A = this chain, B = another copy of it.
Amino acid sequence: MLFPTGHRGAATPAPVVPSTGRLQPLGLDQVRITGGPWARRQEVNAAATLAHIEHWLEREGWLGNFDLAAAGGPAAGRRGREFSDSEVYKLLEAMAWELGRRPDADLEHRFGAMVRRVAAAQEPDGYLGTRFGRPGQEPRYTDLEWGHELYCQGHLYQAAAARARTGRPGDLLVEVARRSADHVCATFGPDGNQGICGHAEVEVGLAELGRALGEPRYLAQAALFLDRRGHGVLADIEFGRSYYQDDVPVRDAEVFHGHAVRANYLAAGAVDVAVETGDEKLLDAVAGQWARTQARRTYLTGGQGSHHQDEAFGDDWVLPPDRAYSETCASVGSVMVSWRLLLARGGAQYADAIERALTNVVATSPAHDGRSFFYANTLHQRVPAEHVATDEVSKRAEASLRAPWFEVACCPPNVARTFASVAAYVATVDDGGVQLHQYAPAEIRATLPSGEQVALDVVTGYPDDGRVEVHVVDAPSGDWTLTLRVPSWSPSARVRVDDGSDRVVGPGFVEVPGPRSGAVVTLDLDAAPRFVVPDPHIDAVRGCVAVQRGPQVLCLESVDLDEGDGVDDVVVDASVPPWEVDGTVYVRAGILGASDGGWPYAATDDAAPRPRPELRDVPLVAYHDWANRGPATMRVWLPAL
């Protein structure tokens, strides 16, 4: 069943608005983050990051590529990689969400000017792309493996959906996207080109544009792309067809595999198609893959992908911290998948995963000033970062200091669009009431499916503080339920309502029956720092502990050690739990003696026991804060004495 009439909420200003599902999203007009780290990140994003990205797109000529294409002449002078158009579209999406969050005349003006440059490059038949089809370029769609033409147009659709839903349904960007999508449907339809794109994205883009514009053809085309993939449609390549998930149909796969960004984007599109077509088997398949991927192929930070070579998932349990690729965009993609599964099925594990990835990967990427970024997010930096100049493009994705821009610059605008729309992940509604998934100081002004209004104010010092107060400003008139997530990192929690109810609950969703207007619901989570240990199958961190405080993974940075001591020599006394003083978490740790410099493998009877090192109190920092104090080494997993 494609788009049943009367589908709900198509105009909700949120990135994902399914026509059906267990939970309904709220738009940026219904949830506003008013303080705390996420509000600060949104401010920096608006004040610095958007303009920073625009500057680099201009400087590197990726915006100019549209002007060249519009001029219609030969392709000489086009700059950047084959997918550079997509960075423009992701910036447009970020701007659209930011404008939806808070009007800004200057930003609106820059947005409009950029859209006009994009629109001028669109071909009469709707095709949009600066890399193929002009004089001096290969013809369109002649390199589906690596050309990224459909990928780029998919990002255009997500941007247009954002624009349509933030109050501009007839906007030029929306019309450009509509013409492009019509062209794609005409070209790749049931009787057309039977190809797919080497990088999934057009599926999720078509689905969302179809939802936003009420156009079932777009969703049908997304379903068609999805069904084609996995049958060896694309060429075999050095990394194998698994790289772009063309080795096995998405409904038959057991786990996310291949290129981690591609895998997550594909899975997100598969959930969209499954939800809209009522395909429960497909939804089961993706949910099963998600669970296995979380259990066996995900870092403690929520990061995914341990292969640098092909930016890919490793086999089960291959999670070396010092070779973590954990691309920022893979975690943006994992949030896309988890959020869609949460809307489709409910399930606190999805909200847990979103919190983990947002807090520890997506928020780790940008520097505090929002003007440089990690592309890869290692969990163990063994060599102090080289200096990355603030005005140079980084060739190396795994630069150990954040870089202002990359030859492959997917991550900065992906962070920007996620931050600008992050309020959308805070809460949902269903027939019974409101569900709070992520905690931040916030104002929630939601309309329930019944039409009744709910107004909640969230007051909290989260995540440093585990207390969350929900002030019920306006309750619905009848029975309703306030559902709160107790994160999996909190072994237990206490829920009190000021009418006297008081319970201790475990992780998962806890339901608070119909608090009245004026009531205050207090959730006390256990955010004390604690050691975590890995499943023994994760060979690379055997014998280590990590420290987590609430949702935040902590790490040890060499700037907090004595001069000359390195994180590679640290061992911790795991019998002394981590403790907190004035907001800083400490562990008891020592420095191992240096290696003797000989062959590093010894027969057990020859291996001299090492003297127990002298122990001291060593401070940790939040992983998302690391590398903001200059070049340093760092590790998340700490060897236990």
Contacts and interface: CB of A to CB of B under 8 A. Distances in A.
Nearest to A236: B395
A376 to B, nearest CB: 11
A536 interface: yes
A615 to B, nearest CB: 16
A320 B320 contact: yes
A610 B546 CA distance: 20
Given A237-B395, A320-B320, A601 B535 contact: yes
A323 B298 CA distance: 17
Contact of A488 (B382, B535, B574, B599): B599
B597 A532 contact: no
The winner among A543, A545, A574 for most chain B CB atoms within 10 A is A543
Contacts of A407: 238
A383 interface: yes
A318 B324 CA distance: 12
A569 B538 CA distance: 11
A292 interface: yes
B542 A295 contact: no
Nearest to A353: B599
Nearest to A311: B309
Interface string A533-577: 111111111111110100000000000000000001101001000
B599 A294 contact: yes
B317 A568 contact: yes
A602 to B, nearest CB: 6
A76 interface: no
B603 A315 contact: no
B537 A595 contact: yes
Nearest to A349: B599
A534 B407 CA distance: 39
Given A317-B382, A318-B323, A568-B537, A532 B395 contact: no
Interface in A296-322: 296, 298, 300, 306-309, 314-318, 320-322
Nearest to A300: B601
A291 interface: yes
Interface string A588-620: 000010010111111111110010000000000
A491 interface: yes
Interface residues of A, number: 74
A639 interface: yes
Nearest to A635: B539
A383 B531 CA distance: 31
A627 B462 CA distance: 53
Contacts of A291: 597
A449 interface: no
**Oligomer copy total:** 2
A637 to B, nearest CB: 8
Contacts of A601: 300, 532-535, 546
A217 interface: no
Nearest to A238: B395
Contacts of A544: 539, 542
A361 to B, nearest CB: 15
B300 A491 contact: no
A396 interface: yes
Contact of A542 (B239, B543, B599): B543
Contacts of A542: 542-544, 639
A240 interface: yes
A345 interface: no
A251 interface: no
B603 A530 contact: yes
Contact of A315 (B237, B306, B322, B599): B322
Interface in A278-303: 291-292, 294-296, 298, 300
Contacts of A604: 530-533, 545, 574
The winner among A239, A309, A488 for most chain B CB atoms within 10 A is A309
A253 B315 CA distance: 35
A491 B603 contact: yes
Nearest 9 A/B pairs, CB to CB? A535-B600, A309-B309, A308-B309, A542-B543, A543-B543, A315-B382, A531-B604, A320-B320, A532-B601
5 contacts: A236-B395, A309-B309, A314-B323, A317-B568, A536-B639
Given A296-B600, A536-B639, 17 more contacts: A237-B395, A238-B407, A295-B595, A296-B595, A315-B382, A320-B323, A349-B599, A352-B599, A491-B605, A491-B606, A530-B603, A533-B603, A535-B602, A536-B571, A537-B569, A539-B540, A545-B604
